[in-house]
């Protein structure tokens, strides 16, 4: 289980955007590096947070593998920089860092891969995850060229349903309490990297 503490936070102001983006956060070559490492770890059926042993295909149909800091030492500082900048410019959350490994996720046409509406906040103590540092900011990184698949849209619900943009190498950040889903993939394969940044409980 990776634990990666962030350095001092940036703070430039606060707004309440349902999500924010960093265009071209990663180059196509860097996306391929992440994909290669994720595939090397042999993705397995994804589980849901209410039961880490339950694949629940009616709720979530995808495969995941987990990238530790030692697997991709160049990637963790990049994640820190992107998360700190987006958080500092837009949310100003009190963040600690990463309390979990990075999740490489694959949604395929063969599985009609999807993930129904959910929040990223976990509610039970499992797998040695420290509940004193809850997930506060979620980060989704688009690893696949969007021309290579149909469906697989990331949608965010903040009272209205918003379809997030899909751009190769883009990072999208949103509060972990925000309802979101991934629509079924109908052609090709969608690959992403999902990151949860933790911090002290909200007060």
pTM beyond 0.85 = yes
pLDDT at 12: 52
Distance of CA 130 to the CA centre of its chain: 18
Compute the mean pLDDT over every residue in the chain, rounded to the nearest whole number.
Answer: 90
Please provide the DSSP assignment of 136-185 as one string.
EEEEEEE-S-GGGEEE--EEEESSSEEEPP--TT-EEEEETTSEEEEPPE
Q: What is the average pLDDT across 26-54?
A: 88
- All domains in the chain, ordered by first residue: 4-198 (2.60.120.620)
Buried b (16+ CB within 10 A) or exposed e, 6-15: beeeeeeeee
Cβ burial, residue 70 (10 Å; 0-12/13-18/19+): exposed
Least confident of 110-124, 128-142, 144-158, 162-176: 128-142
- CA 66 → CA 13, 50, 81, 102, distances in Å? 33, 19, 20, 6
């Amino acid at each position: 289980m990776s634990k990666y503490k962030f350095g001092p936070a940036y703070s430039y102001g606060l707004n309440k955007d349902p999500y924010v983006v960093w265009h071209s956060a990663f180059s196509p070559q860097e996306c391929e590096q992440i994909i290669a490492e994720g595939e090397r770890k042999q993705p397995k059926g994804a589980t849901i947070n209410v039961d880490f042993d339950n694949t629940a295909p009616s709720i979530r149909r995808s495969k995941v593998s987990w990238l530790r800091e030692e697997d991709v030492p160049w990637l963790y500082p990049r994640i820190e920089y992107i998360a700190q900048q987006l958080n500092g410019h837009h949310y100003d959350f009190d963040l600690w860092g990463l309390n979990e490994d990075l999740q490489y996720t694959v949604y395929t046409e063969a599985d009609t891969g999807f993930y129904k509406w959910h929040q990223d906040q976990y509610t039970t103590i499992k797998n040695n995850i420290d509940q004193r540092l809850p997930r506060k900011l979620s980060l989704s990184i688009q690893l696949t060229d969007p021309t290579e698949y149909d469906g697989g849209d990331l949608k965010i619900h903040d009272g209205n349903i918003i379809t997030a943009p899909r751009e190769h190498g883009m990072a999208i950040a949103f509060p972990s309490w925000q309802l979101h889903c991934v629509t079924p993939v109908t052609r090709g394969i969608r690959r992403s990297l999902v990151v949860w940044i933790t911090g002290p409980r909200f007060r």
